[in-house]
Structure 1
């Protein structure tokens, strides 16, 4: 299954642990796609760095070429692609995108997906753009309710964490 991951901008330590747990359970059976534009990529990239054998299941998308990325991201992307991850560049160098441009990139990705998973901790409703676009495109999506700063919420079952949309 082709799964696009999106999420909130500011992730707590518990949020990142929740994302890692999701990947531990689902990355080995699915193709994981990620637009590296927000902080959700940090726990995802960390997971694949720690689980190198799964790198071929990772599809990375960036707005700009790796040459203009910060050194840690450049090194990470180079390493993961050497291990078999795929990297596609959209070819824009804007650091601040209008909603319509941002949505356009997501629309292109969502068209190829079976599922859009949004890790959401309630920080900004705009973090749900990909879910809204998936619903419009008729692509299954779900929201994973992140624990924020409440450690006990990590131990909820999936029925309490996952909300399927359409």
Structure 2
């Protein structure tokens, strides 16, 4: 991870324009955020809104990322797609190694341990340490498949 890269969760599908929108951003760390996420959750009875990886933002800058954000307060949901410049990759790598040393076997950002933490908990730690993480908004164009129900809905509407 010494060079720029983009990454994606394995349980999401998205339209090609989502990737192009992300790649056109100038920031060191950019997360794709769906602002129409609550519409998608309406039919997802097996996956509640409170499980979404929600964000708060000030303009394009992410100020908080957590599952604990109230759905009605959230700017949107992080879809699991991100881009890192060379500097952003170094920041991610450095903070990952730091938290592994500092929190080895200890609670971390609400997780039982750093080993059981979600990626968004590392992102939140980075935000709290002053790292600028930005977002790019989309309104739809993506679907998360966590359950058989999600798969069936995606096949129907996609």
Length-normalised TM-score, structure 1: 0.30
Relative contact order, CA 8 A, sep 6+: which one is greater?
Answer: 2
